[in-house]
Amino acid sequence: MNRKPLFIPLASLLFCSCALQANTARKGTPPTEWNVKEVQHGKASWYGVRCNGGTHTASGETLCDDSATAAHKTLPMDTKVRVTNLANGKSEIVRINNRGPYIRGRIIDVTEGVAKRIGFYKRGVVPVKVEVLEKNEPETGDS
């Protein structure tokens, strides 16, 4: 009697079950909570490797078109901000790693990838809300 046909379906069920459990474990991880420290309103534009005049940011990092990073004139490097496209409500949390924009009325330049993800790549400039974020520190029992 040949037992191979029965073994193959059982093995594939076991493998799929393990994969489903691994995915479920990752989904159960709680998201990081943020407090909004400050809110700014203005216009956002985007920039990329082709139009930046170089491949490095003011922080010294290599510019990557798809990264969740942005340029701001005054916020400290590595500050996290949530950029919301006010035309469609889409938003993304980005990290400040560059300086600019230097055009009047614009408050932030996001990478090309962020502009695509929040829906203003083709438009080029859009009104936004920029929320400066800080990590929500868990309360300790100390008083």
CATH number for region 34-135: 2.40.40.10
Q: What angle do CA 123, 128, 131 make, to 5 degrees?
A: 145
Give me the residue spans of the domains in the chain: 34-135
pLDDT in tens, 26-60: 344 445 688 999 999 999 999 887 766 567 888 98
Provide the sign of the torsion angle of the four alpha carbons 108, 111, 114, 120, taken in this order.
Answer: positive
pTM of the model: 0.71
Give the chain's length: 143
Measuring CA to CA, which residue among 61, 44, 23 is closest to residue 119? Answer: 44
Phi, psi of 81 (to 5 degrees): -135, 150
d(C-alpha 27, C-alpha 55), whole Å: 35
